[in-house]
Amino acid sequence: MSGLIVEYVPFAFAAFLVAMLTVGILVPRVIIFALRVRAVQVGGAHHGLGRRMHDGVVPNIGGIAILAGFLMALVVGSVIGPSLIDAYRVELLAIVLGGCLMVLVGFIDDIWEVPAAMRLATQFLAAGILVVNGVRIEFFTNYFGSSSYVFMPELVAVAVTLLWVVGFTNAFNFVDGVDGLSSGIAAIASMSLLAVALQFADRGASVLLLAAIAGAALGFLRHNFNPATITMGDSGAYLLGYVLAAVSVLGALKVTAAVTVAAPILILGLPVLNITQVTLRRLRRGQNPSLASNDHLHDLLRQRRASPRVTVLVLWGATLVLGALGMFLSQTPPVLLIATVVAAVLLIALVSFLRLAEVDRETRLGATGPGTGGP
């Protein structure tokens, strides 16, 4: 296993770094473009049956920068280690194509609003691209019989895969409600899944995709931590949710140890838990589950007088605990598990503090500007 990690390290690190730097460089330019075309969210404005909880006018098409960083990382990784992705080259291209489609419909929705039925149809189309190219859930763990797995009929496998990809894509979009929450969750989840993928041969495509997502999410968090200068919008949330769902099917689910099948479910568990409780609450009230309202986990925490930053830290912590449990169940070596947790904490703390330092600098410059009583 250690040989696999050594082989993947330069490949993964290059993709991670390229994605993070590309997103970080592009976000200020996307902000300028968004303000020019009025692609913004207004804080306090009505949204469905709820309200948007951020302050001020914030650009909402950050998914463009995330997609650019993600694609640039994939190109660089493909050049550095072409042999490492050969086993899943078709599947990799399918995920890229589906991800671009998700960004397109999300981008249009961020600016003009797309009917829910059309968004759902596009999501199923993107998920169908995966299925026809061999990315599908074909078995489930058998905890009670003599065999480790039970393989599903083809039609059932197709249906389960479509529901998982579309369901998780929307589940991830549902957690994008507080500055920095979704980008931090994406970084933690992708790094945890990356630690799982590193343990197996022929997982180069998964390693590349997860390293690219982790880098893109952290690069975006640099500008998205509270108070955010930009949000990822549906374009970014759809991309991150779709790729995480697809990679969990592509790599982490198709392993030899039966217990490892539970790893992606745990690692990606917080968005699933959130959308489940939201759906049940809205159905109990007789409301349409797809109609926005302030009843997500982050909303419930804030109603208990938690600040936006405390809310984000609590939910990041929950995601990190679930990620550690997922890695533990996948029999990740303790050194790799601990290194992943420490790296996630340090990297998220670093980019968050960079954002806070920027806010502090802007505040001090404003305090000493014209008309403030300075010399």
pLDDT > 50? residue 280? yes
Percent of the chain beyond pLDDT 70? 86
**pLDDT level of residue 84 (50, 70, 90 thresholds):** confident
Lowest mean pLDDT among 137-146, 155-164, 310-319, 336-345: 137-146
Higher pLDDT, 312 or 370: 312
User: Under 8 Å CB-to-CB from 270, ≥6 apart: which residues?
Assistant: 175, 185, 297, 315, 318, 319, 322
Lowest mean pLDDT among 46-50, 133-137, 294-298, 340-344: 46-50
Q: Residue 257: what pLDDT?
A: 39
CB 296 within 8 A of CB 174: yes
Lowest mean pLDDT among 163-177, 290-304, 331-345, 360-374: 360-374
What mean pLDDT value characterizes the chain?
86
* Among candidate residues 210, 179, 215, the one with its CA nearest the CA of residue 352: 179
**228's torsion region: left (phi>0), alpha (psi -120 to 50) or beta?**
beta
Residue ranges of the domains in the chain? 2-357
Task: Copy the structure tokens of residue 270.
Answer: 């917080």
Q: Residue 334: what pLDDT?
A: 93
Task: Copy the structure tokens of residue 161.
Answer: 């895969």
Q: Residue 172: what pLDDT?
A: 95
CB 39 within 8 A of CB 59: yes
Average pLDDT over residues 76-86: 89
Q: Residue 250: what pLDDT?
A: 81
| Cα gap 299→315, rounded to integer Å | 11
Task: Say which residue the tokens 């000493």 belong to.
Answer: 368
pLDDT > 90? residue 168? yes
Q: What is the DSSP letter of 248?
A: I
Lowest mean pLDDT among 38-52, 228-242, 280-294, 325-339: 38-52
**pLDDT level of residue 72 (50, 70, 90 thresholds):** very high
pLDDT > 60? residue 46? no
**Does residue 227 have a cis bond before it (omega within 30 degrees)?**
yes
pLDDT per residue over 173-194, tens digit each?
999 888 999 999 999 999 999 9
Task: Say which residue the tokens 């690190």 belong to.
Answer: 13
Q: Residue 200: what pLDDT?
A: 78
Average pLDDT over residues 231-248: 95
pLDDT per residue over 2-16, tens digit each?
555 677 888 899 999
